[in-house]
Amino acid sequence: MLVNVFGDRVRAARTLRRMKSSEVATKLGWPASKQTRLEYSERAFLDPEQLAIISSLLQFPEKYFLEPPPPPVTIDDLLFRAPVATPKKEKAYLAEFARAVGEVLEWLDGRHRLPAVKIPTLPADTSMAEAGKEVRRALSLPDDQPIPHLIHLMERAGVPVIVRGNIQRMAIHDPEDLALDAVTEKHLGYSTRVGEHADRPVTVLRANPSWERVRWTVAHELGHITLHSRGLTPDSENQASAFASELLAPASAVRKELPAHVTLASLTEVKLRWGISLGALITHLHANNLVDAERFETLRRQLYTRMNSATGRSWGRDEPGWDAREIERPRLLVTWMERCLGIAVPHAVAQMSGIWPADLVASMISGQRPKVNQPESVGPPTPKPDNVISLDRWRLREA
Ligand SMILES: [Zn+2]
């Protein structure tokens, strides 16, 4: 008896395992064209033995290939401008990962409704001050206060955040792939919309040891979600970046806190209070005419040439205050797993689903925040508990 396999599932699993279609075809003893035909046919009838080979080769349960796939997420649905050198297959991987996240979310949502999406979608030409205000309203935040934990508020407003871990590769080791990794490492995050009606925004981050970069990347992604729901424009990266700074540190509020003579030392206090990097803050102040062009250049030069004696790298890399705050991490996905399934352990979740491999589930939840009062067990080390700001350590000599 033959089994009815969804071709799209085979393509998706292969993409997530970073295998070439020809590698799979070889294992099956097929010409490459037959594999391609399978992947692009809605359904195909296979011998159970062939399905077993595909399942063991791609390390996905057989049932995965027999279940109707979720709506596609294509590389054009990704809200991010990849480095020019990013190959299509890498983007396809990121799209497929987001789609898998979407399927997990939909599964959980069916058991217990996820938080409603409250983030507004606005025209791309909305002023940053206006867009920032609208999003702050959606996050239930006043216009003139720092944002304590952005990821937490964003998830409460219906946008799950995933810190992407590794999925086991099944591809035969290929030097080309290592070169790819180096390219992909450069992107910090991306967003897309998932679900039956593509109405659930999701942000996927790469793990990053800098609290400043994580917060800023998340704010930048919120910019894309808010301003670019109809797709990216040539100016969308600049818009999302300007939005990120305005959301974290509204110019109208920060202007009141600026000293008469702006230095890196005085800005470090502003930075730590508002939770925005010095690099972004300087650009933001300049863009809003709060520092003049000459001062802007001086501050930038200082930032990128001075050394952080604790890390031996420039302040451009490790700014003053680099270890003064906890790295924000998401928690919605594990919270929902615990709520719906009673457990958020990859093997158990994979087994309950019956369709996902444990390492795929692990790649979605390994970067999540552990429960309060629980020992830190996964993810990168966090330098400090809570958002404790240790200002005194960063009192700097005036430039
Ligand atoms: Zn972007």
Q: What is the pLDDT of residue 397?
A: 36
Q: What integer pLDDT is reported at residue 105 of this predicted model?
A: 97
Average pLDDT, the chain: 88
pLDDT > 70: percent of the chain: 87
Residue 71 Cα to ligand 1 middle (Å): 23
Of the listed ranges 106-110, 355-359, 373-377, the least confidently predicted one is 373-377
What is the per-residue pLDDT across 69-81, written as a single tens digit (0 to 9) for each?
999 998 888 887 6
Query: What pLDDT, on a 0 to 100 scale, did the predictor assign at position 203?
Result: 97
More confident residue, 122 or 86: 122
| Separation of CA 48 and ligand 1 centre (Å) | 44
Q: What's the average model confidence in pLDDT over 101-108?
A: 97
Mean pLDDT of 388-397: 40
Q: Give the Å distance between the CA of 232 and the centre of ligand 1.
A: 9
Tell me, in angstroms, the distance from the centre of ligand 1 to residue 252's CA. 24
Which pair of structure tokens corresponds to residue 103? 């399927």
The pLDDT of residue 388 is 39
Parallel, antiparallel, or unpaired: how do β-strands 3-6 and 43-46 relate? antiparallel
Question: CA-based diameter of the chain, in Å?
Answer: 81
Residue 182 has pLDDT above 60, yes or no: no
**More confident position, 230 or 262:** 262
Please give the average per-residue pLDDT across 18-42, as a whole number.
93
CA–CA separation, 322 vs 61, rounded Å?
43
Mean pLDDT comparison of 27-41, 86-100, 169-183, highest-scoring range: 27-41
Of the pLDDT bands very low, low, confident and very high (cuts 50, 70, 90), residue 298 is very high
CA distance 94 to 368: 19
Whether the pLDDT of residue 396 is over 50: the answer is no
* Higher-confidence position of 394 and 264: 264
- Amino acid in position 260: A
Element (H, E) at 133: helix 128-138
379: pLDDT strictly greater than 70: no
**Distance in Å, CA 176 to ligand 1 centroid:** 26
pLDDT tens for 206-254 read 888 899 999 999 999 999 999 998 888 889 999 999 999 999 999 999 9
- For residue 378, what pLDDT is reported? 45
pLDDT class of 260 with cuts at 50, 70, 90: confident
* pLDDT, mean of residues 109-135: 96
Q: Mean pLDDT across the stretch 253-258? A: 95
Stretch among 187-196, 200-209, 327-336 having the lowest mean pLDDT: 187-196
Which CA distances in Å does 40 have to 34, 44, 279?
Answer: 10, 10, 46
Give yes or no for residue 193 having a pLDDT over 70: yes
- CA-to-CA distance for 78 and 193, rounded, in angstroms? 8
Distance 191 CA to ligand 1 centre (A): 9
Residue ranges and CATH numbers for the domains of the chain are 3-69 (1.10.260.40), 76-327+387-394 (no CATH)
Ligand 1 centre distance from Cα of residue 240 (Å): 6
Residues with CB under 5 A from ligand 1 (ion): 80, 237, 240
Strand boundaries in the chain, DSSP class E? 3-6, 43-46, 161-164, 189-194, 200-206, 307-308, 313-314
- Kindly give the distance from the C-alpha atom of residue 185 to the centroid of ligand 1, in angstroms, as a whole number: 15
Q: What percent of the chain has pLDDT over 90?
A: 71
Ligand 1 centroid to residue 220 C-alpha, Å: 6
pLDDT at 178: 56
Whether the per-residue pLDDT at 278 is higher than 60: the answer is yes
What CA–CA distance (Å, rounded) separates 210 from 227?
26
